[in-house]
A and B are shown apart, each in its own frame.
Chain A
């Protein structure tokens, strides 16, 4: 039932972002030992593994927060290098961190344009002193929110501090998507949410798939993963265990692969 990484790769849609043989050490700790990973457009790739398996390290390498010691990066088959967050952003790779990094004292529109504020073209002033184009930012925010179909959000002028956890997650995702991105990485997006809020976030993830983004979804929650993902890639001790099509596997198999690895699991089965 399980397939090797390479086989799944061949039968899968062509990869949008792919990495091969990524190594990363922190001092004596070899966190990633030749990891392969890929994600296609219009696909949700779940990345799972036990604590310390290297998920976060891999994600931060992809986001440019860590520079890989060794490894190839391919975007649409073209070799690229990612050595800092700006490289990743320029390639359209965006990450939504678990803590979301929203400013609760600002409204939704301001948060969505944070750092990329639209200004009126008053050329005689330096950019940081040009008047903000509030209305256009609201239009942009409205469009981004509508695209993700966050229906519970009434006003883009609402302060983020007054919103629910699911709405905040949706806004953080909308911000990542708004920045001309093609790859969106979500780190435990439903970890702190209740049932209804989780549902809302999963709907947003599905919308992202429909808009042809490549989504990397990191989670511990098997139910969410099986609801939303197309493929599941398991890491263990910094190496690939395997990649499954979600429809071809079940949560028990994934949990066994995460905790004991494939060979052990087969040995047990035999």
Chain B
């Protein structure tokens, strides 16, 4: 798996890095390193510095406390849901600038619907349908009329921002529906959460090992056992560490379970079905995808429909977590850029054809951690913006460097 294609090629650092990124789990490495660096800085280096300079009398890490980790995950969940959706269109080489505004419209509609007495579950379904329609309409314009997605969704951004203001003339609405609030409030009991984690890790190990044994049977090349067990151990360690940390503060929130489940479903669709393969094919070479018979236009429209759905889900999650819908939290704020940034920081290429929804979740954690950490250190909004910009630039630079056909060679 790690074997380079041309063994005679001298492996420079950049080439090694490229070879690493080409492997199945290697794509996670840069974003995981970024996350580790940020956590190390805010959780360890800053507190130690404070102790050394006498600002604090004893070592205390607020950032890495279970309480803060819990908040961090919940803060990042809305960005993550949106970033997961945006990743799907990024795979095509398109972009969706209207996702956050769509989320805003859906959240506002949700608030109005539950206020008018419609049951929460029905309101959620309606809102998800509306999100799909809002996304698909843009997708149809991109696919069949042939307008670049940047322009269509820019128009969508403006139009949907206006629509949200129409729905919420005051710009703010409280959401008290117990069903809607339940997503963020319901906690999975400690033991159940742990059991769920163990089952997930077991299933992951079973799938990976079964694939390996099938490979052996069919006489196909095998993954190295080190990579195999390494991925199982890493997956298990991350899942259990997250659950134990969350349990140490409260418990595993339903919201996160749903987010991971939806991402797993989308991850499976994008990597393991003909539809997902067609997304990558169109993103890699739209003309060849057309020649082999993929219905490129339908695929485009469907991808934008998926973003619409994910935007609606992000809207529901946001309304659930904040207990209110406000213009600035969705359409008018920085949510859109954070979500696109999260997808790109996760390693999804803006040029299409490469990326993964799981990386979007990690990218959202990077963005969330930055915001959270800088908040804790009392940094100003100006500092936060500048640091976020630098991180985004770094992520895109890594993307450009790791493309095999980078132009500078």
- A residues near B (Cβ < 8 Å) are 97, 99-106, 110, 114-117, 119, 127-132, 134-135, 138-139, 142, 154-159, 161-164
Contacts and interface: CB of A to CB of B under 8 A. Distances in A.
B288 A135 contact: no
A245 B274 CA distance: 46
A103 B273 contact: no
Contact of A154 (B3, B211, B289): B3
B272 A132 contact: yes
Contacts of B287: 99, 101
Interface in B255-300: 269, 272-275, 277-278, 280-281, 283-285, 287-289, 291-294
Contacts of A156: 221
Nearest to A118: B274
**Residue from B22, B221, B274, B275 having most chain A Cβ neighbours under 10 A:** B274
A122 to B, nearest CB: 10
**Residue from B272, B278, B405 having most chain A Cβ neighbours under 10 A:** B272
Contacts of B284: 103-106
Contact of B274 (A128, A138, A161): A128
Give the size range of B's interface with the partner.
Answer: 20 to 34
B220 A142 contact: yes
Given A130-B274, A132-B272, A132-B273, A115 B5 contact: no
9 contacts: A103-B281, A103-B289, A104-B404, A110-B281, A114-B289, A128-B274, A132-B273, A139-B218, A155-B3
A163 to B, nearest CB: 7
Contacts, number: 95
Interface of B: 1, 3, 5-6, 22, 211, 214-215, 218, 220-221, 269, 272-275, 277-278, 280-281, 283-285, 287-289, 291-294, 353-354, 404-405
Contacts of A128: 273-275, 278
A157 B269 contact: no
Q: What is the predominant secondary structure among interface residues of chain A facing chain B?
A: loop
Given A129-B269, A129-B273, A159-B404, A103 B220 contact: no
A101 B291 contact: yes
Nearest to A153: B5
Nearest to B351: A105
Contacts of B1: 157
B292 A115 contact: yes
A159 B22 contact: yes
Given A105-B280, A114-B289, A161 B273 contact: no
Contacts of B6: 162, 164
B11 to A, nearest CB: 13
B276 to A, nearest CB: 8
Given A102-B288, A114-B292, A130 B221 contact: no
A139 B215 CA distance: 10
Contact of A135 (B5, B220, B273, B278): B220
Given A103-B284, A129-B269, 4 more contacts: A101-B291, A110-B281, A135-B214, A157-B221
Contacts of A132: 272-274, 277
Contacts of A129: 269, 273-275
A101 B273 contact: no
Contacts of B22: 159, 162
**Residue from A100, A139, A157 having most chain B Cβ neighbours under 10 A:** A157
Contacts of B289: 103, 114-115
